[in-house]
Amino acid sequence: MSEQVVITGIGAICALGMSPAEILSAISAGHSALARVAGWSGAAAEALRAAPLDQLDPRRLVEDRKLHKRVRRTDLLGLYAAERAMAEARILESRAALDARLVEDFNDRTAVYSASGGSNYQTQYDFFSLMSEARGELKHFGQELSQVDPIWLLRELPNNVVCHVGIRHGFKGPNCCLVNHTSGGGCAISQALDALSDGEADRAVVVAHDTPVEPQTLLYFDALGLLTKSQPRPFDSRHDGIALGDGAAAMVLETRSSAERRGAQILGTILSVGFASEAAGLLAIRADGEGPARASEQALAAAGLDADDIGTVIAHGNGGPNSDDSEAAALVRIFGSRQPPTTSFKWACGHLLAAAGMIDTVLAVECLRHSELPGIATFEKPSDASATLRLSPAAQSLGNSTALILSRGFGSFNAAVIVNAPHARNC
Q: CA angle 13-18-24, nearest 5°?
A: 85
Neighbours of 128 (CB within 10 A): 9
So what's the pLDDT on residue 39?
Answer: 67
Look at residue 427 and tell me whether its pLDDT is greater than 50: no
CB under 8 A, 24+ apart: contacts of 221-230: 222/44, 222/48, 224/283, 226/320, 227/48, 227/49, 228/49, 228/319, 229/47, 229/48, 229/49, 230/49
Q: Cα-Cα-Cα-Cα dihedral of 39, 45, 46, 48, to 10°?
A: -120
Q: Could you tell me the domains of the chain?
A: 5-118+158-426 (3.40.47.10), 123-153 (no CATH)
Is pTM beyond 0.85? Reply is: yes
| Model pLDDT for residues 35-87, shown as the tens digit of each residue | 887 766 655 566 688 999 978 888 888 888 778 777 888 999 999 999 999 99
So what's the pLDDT on residue 158?
Answer: 86
| Model pLDDT for residues 155-171, shown as the tens digit of each residue | 788 899 999 999 999 99
CA-to-CA dists, residue 163 to 31, 35, 115, 153, 356, angstroms: 35, 34, 13, 15, 22
| Model pLDDT for residues 367-398, shown as the tens digit of each residue | 999 998 999 999 999 999 999 999 999 999 99
The full length of the chain comes to 427
Cβ-count burial 200-214 (b if 16+ within 10 Å, e if not):
ebbbbbbbbbbbbbb
Start-end of H helices in 207-253 = 215-223
Q: What are φ and ψ of residue 22, in 5° steps?
A: -65, -40
Q: What is the DSSP letter of 304?
A: T
| Model pLDDT for residues 285-331, shown as the tens digit of each residue | 999 999 999 999 999 999 999 999 999 999 999 999 999 999 999 99
The three state secondary structure string of 260-277 is HHCCCCCCEEEEEEEEEE
So what's the pLDDT on residue 404?
Answer: 98
User: Which residue type is seen at 246?
Assistant: D
User: Mean pLDDT lowest for which of 117-126, 182-191, 194-203, 240-249?
Assistant: 117-126
Instruction: Report percent pLDDT > 70 for the chain.
Output: 96
So what's the pLDDT on residue 43?
Answer: 53
| Model pLDDT for residues 339-363, shown as the tens digit of each residue | 999 999 999 999 999 999 999 999 9
